[in-house]
Amino acid sequence: MSSRPVQRQDGAGGRRAPRKIIPDKLYFKIGEVSELTGVKPYILRYWESEFKMITPAKTRSNQRLYKRSDVELILQIKQMLYGERYTIAGAKQRLRELRRAGGGDQLKLSLDEGKARRALLAVREELKAVRKLLD
């Protein structure tokens, strides 16, 4: 069974959490998705009503079953809302634009660019600190 690493980011505080692995399985219950993404279940349910692309299947007992693609989309939405500071309306608009422009791959690239930019800024600050120590 293979798994892909995913970088989690805690809510509005922006602190990095340890890497979480999305297990390689077909469906995830809402508690598992909450654990993997760091998003509380009531927020996941709210996002379902706001972002129509999040479409978990439901069992006979009305339990939500999310697919891997749903979990990945939730992580992207979380990054937009908490990391990039989009509003819900702004995130919806951005998702629509990215889907129109080139699909999900473009969305992933856009979010990866933001992460890369922040990482480069952090490295730059560290290099400045090292340079200051050496002077």
- The CATH code of the domain that includes 106 is 1.10.1660.10
Please tell me the pTM assigned to this model: 0.63
Mean pLDDT of 28-41: 96
Say how many domains are in the chain: 1
* Mean pLDDT of the chain, nearest integer: 81
Quickly state the pLDDT bin for 123 (edges 50, 70, 90). confident
Instruction: Report how far residue 37's alpha carbon sits from residue 32's, in angstroms, rounded to the nearest whole number.
Output: 9
In tens, the pLDDT along 38-61 reads 999 999 999 999 999 999 999 999
Q: Is the pLDDT of residue 84 over 90?
A: yes
Q: Is the pLDDT of residue 2 over 70?
A: no
Which residue segment(s) compose the domain that 66 sits in?
Answer: 4-134
* Predicted pLDDT at 13: 41
Mean pLDDT of 75-96: 94
* Predicted pLDDT at 7: 46
